[in-house]
């Protein structure tokens, strides 16, 4: 059970079966790219531990609390823990920290499992839960009481804060700290039996109220809380605290390297203290790394929940959300997210990342793997005045992937072009359509604008154009046409709802100023919905099918609202070029 764990000079080891990875992931790579997994200090720790014989194989874990949907910061942790297990042929457990029943739900637990699998990973064995160990955790607490290392306290929360001291002043002992072992055992058993009101008593570890590390000033390890639990129901009315639960759960599972973010660095002495003072044959090594902070978004579960409950977004999977399910619905690829995690790296230094890095990884991944089609999202009608019959041309789905196949680009008397591709008064350097000017239609003819039609308000509503019939698939004679624009046949194009997503906030760090509500910085233009047109070839596209809409960006058919053969809904995942660095 305890593979490769060291405890007081004794090594426990058993045969380890290879880590089960998603078959889409190259087992020699942590992110399914052509480059080997990047080196970092945690990898160096593991290599040294394996080389020295400290561990026969590694066992990591991903331990989320099921109190919300996973976000981009969790994606970094998932890729780290599961990726290391793949690279070193070890195992990675998925364990839910379900010790806070009021905020946890089965919905969250199911979404987390789906997110891990969508990212391309599979955990070792069955899903584990901290609640699997509730009885063992209780018995370990009894052991601490018997050793004189834990006591039942009755201070109010206000008194406990007062007794705790400050960063510059030591705390002072609770008047209940001197209770006998027998009395503490009795009180703790009665806590479990439900004899006391919520919050009336707690069990505290007896460590050092004068410690410079406040986490060691007799931390609470159990509290009374009558709340229905998603797995144990009403069996328990006392629940263990995270710092106490986590280290024991790690040890029970034989975790070799317990990887967590830097805010837990000051908690490591408590992690070690608990394991050093109970009878358990495994002592995992906690190693901290910097958490991810992504510009123009937030990664606080509490604040993400606020966005949902206050209906600033449509839900946890709103494509503007930094949740894994939101990024999936937007059209991001799991391969792109794994590449992003590799690019930002693992270190102890501050990890504040610009959105361009994430978008760049997604863009580069889709550039190589998705077919290209034509779409018009800001349509302007064009009538071909010298149209003399349907002329079509075959075009491939990707210039570098002939195996993707091809389709026919239809041409008709009336076509749609992007309104942005026409200007009556062109800016300097304009190479698209102007009155009297010529452009090449993508995969088709050279076209000249002959007449501009406007409505009563002066808005351009139609163009009358002619085509050079001798330019289908070849350049015109005696002149050079620089501009190329795309189009769709009005007769054959299909209507589609196009959702254009932008950053969720107008400032890079929306929650930096604690005196200002972060919702103040919500971007009112974070979602624009337009009615556009798409090629008929996408008619039967399944949900979550990705395309490059040529000249417009990378799009994905919506996971829920898109209906093959019916209503077509496409979300813009990312633009063709980096639009962030220009601001």
Catalogue the active-site residues: 65, 291, 301
Angle between helices 242-252 and 268-276 (to 10 degrees): 60
Residue 470: phi and psi, rounded to 5, are: -90, 10
Tokens 């426990």 label which residue?
12
Instruction: Say if residues 393 and 433 touch (Cβ distance below 8 Å).
Output: no
Helix, strand, or coil here: 329? Answer: helix
First to last CA, the chain: 54
Cα separation of 366 and 574, whole Å?
Answer: 10
Cα separation of 65 and 192, whole Å?
Answer: 23
Cα separation of 353 and 75, whole Å?
Answer: 14
Tokens 């504040």 label which residue?
352
Cα separation of 35 and 29, whole Å?
Answer: 7
Q: Phi/psi zone of residue 326: left (φ > 0), alpha (ψ -120 to 50 degrees), beta?
A: alpha
Please list the alpha-helical segments (H only) found in 255-350: 268-276, 301-309, 324-330, 334-344
Helix, strand, or coil here: 273? Answer: helix
Residue 216: phi and psi, rounded to 5, are: -100, 5
Q: In terms of Cα–Cα distance, which of 187, 155, 157 is closest to 173?
A: 155
CA dihedral 489, 490, 494, 498 (to 10 degrees): 100
Which DSSP helix (H) or strand (E) runs through 528?
A: strand 527-534
Q: In what order do the strands lie in the sheet with 546-549?
A: 372-373, 546-549, 553-557, 569-574, 494-501, 527-534, 375-376
Q: How many CB atoms lie within 10 A of CB 417?
A: 25
Q: Regarding beta strands 406-409 and 446-454, do their DSSP bridges make them parallel or antiparallel, or are they unpaired?
A: unpaired
Cα separation of 108 and 21, whole Å?
Answer: 23
DSSP state letter for 544 = T
């Amino acid at each position: 059970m305890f593979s490769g764990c060291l405890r007081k000079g004794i090594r426990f080891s058993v045969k380890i079966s290879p880590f089960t990875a998603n078959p889409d992931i190259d087992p020699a790579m942590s992110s399914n790219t052509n480059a080997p997994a990047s080196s970092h200090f945690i990898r160096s720790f593991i290599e040294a531990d394996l080389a020295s014989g400290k561990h026969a194989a590694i066992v990591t874990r991903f331990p989320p609390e099921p109190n919300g949907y996973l976000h981009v910061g969790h994606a970094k942790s998932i890729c780290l823990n599961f990726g290391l297990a793949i690279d070193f042929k070890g195992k990675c457990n998925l364990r839910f920290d379900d010790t806070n029943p009021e905020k946890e739900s089965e919905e969250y637990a199911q979404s987390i499992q789906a997110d891990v699998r969508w990212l391309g990973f599979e955990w070792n064995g069955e899903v584990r839960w901290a609640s699997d160990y509730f009885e063992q955790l209780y018995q370990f607490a009894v052991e601490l009481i018997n050793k004189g290392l834990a006591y039942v306290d009755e201070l109010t929360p206000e008194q406990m804060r007062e007794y705790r001291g400050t960063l510059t002043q030591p705390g002072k002992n609770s008047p209940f700290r001197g209770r006998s072992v027998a009395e503490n055992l009795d009180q703790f058993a009665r806590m479990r039996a439900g004899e006391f009101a919520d919050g009336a008593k707690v069990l505290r570890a007896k460590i050092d109220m004068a410690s410079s590390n406040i986490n060691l000033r007799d931390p609470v390890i159990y509290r009374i809380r009558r709340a229905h639990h998603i797995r144990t129901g009403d069996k328990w009315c006392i629940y263990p605290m995270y710092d106490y639960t986590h280290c024991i759960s790690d040890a029970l599972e034989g975790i070799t390297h317990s990887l967590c973010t830097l805010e837990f660095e000051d908690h490591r002495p408590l992690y070690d203290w608990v394991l050093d003072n109970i009878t358990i044959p495994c002592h995992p090594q906690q190693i901290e790394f910097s958490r991810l902070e992504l510009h123009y978004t937030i990664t606080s579960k509490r604040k993400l929940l606020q966005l949902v409950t206050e209906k600033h977004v449509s839900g946890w999977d709103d494509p503007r959300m930094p949740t894994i399910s939101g990024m999936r619905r937007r059209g991001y690829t799991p391969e792109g997210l794994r590449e992003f995690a590799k690019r930002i790296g693992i270190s102890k230094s501050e990890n504040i990342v610009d959105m361009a890095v994430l978008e760049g990884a997604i863009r580069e991944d889709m550039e190589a793997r998705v077919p290209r089609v034509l779409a018009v999202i800001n349509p302007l009608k064009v009538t071909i005045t010298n149209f003399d019959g349907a002329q079509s041309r075959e075009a491939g789905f990707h210039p570098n992937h002939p195996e993707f196949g091809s389709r026919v680009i239809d041409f008709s008397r009336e076509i749609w072009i992007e309104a942005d591709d026409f200007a009556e008064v062109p800016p300097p350097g304009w190479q698209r359509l102007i009155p009297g000017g010529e452009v090449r239609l993508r995969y088709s003819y050279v076209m000249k604008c002959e007449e501009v039609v406007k409505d009563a308000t002066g808005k351009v509503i139609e163009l009358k154009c002619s085509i050079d019939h001798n330019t289908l698939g070849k350049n015109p004679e005696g002149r050079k046409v620089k501009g190329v624009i795309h189009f769709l046949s009005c007769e054959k194009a299909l209507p589609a709802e196009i959702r254009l997503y932008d950053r969720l906030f107008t400032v890079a760090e929306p929650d930096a100023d604690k005196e200002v509500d972060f919702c103040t910085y919500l971007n009112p233009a974070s979602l624009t919905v337009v009615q556009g047109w798409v090629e008929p070839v996408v008619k039967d596209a399944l949900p979550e099918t990705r395309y490059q809409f040529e000249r417009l960006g990378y799009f994905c058919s919506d996971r829920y609202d898109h209906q093959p053969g019916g209503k077509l809904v496409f979300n813009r995942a990312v633009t063709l070029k980096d639009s962030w660095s220009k601001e």
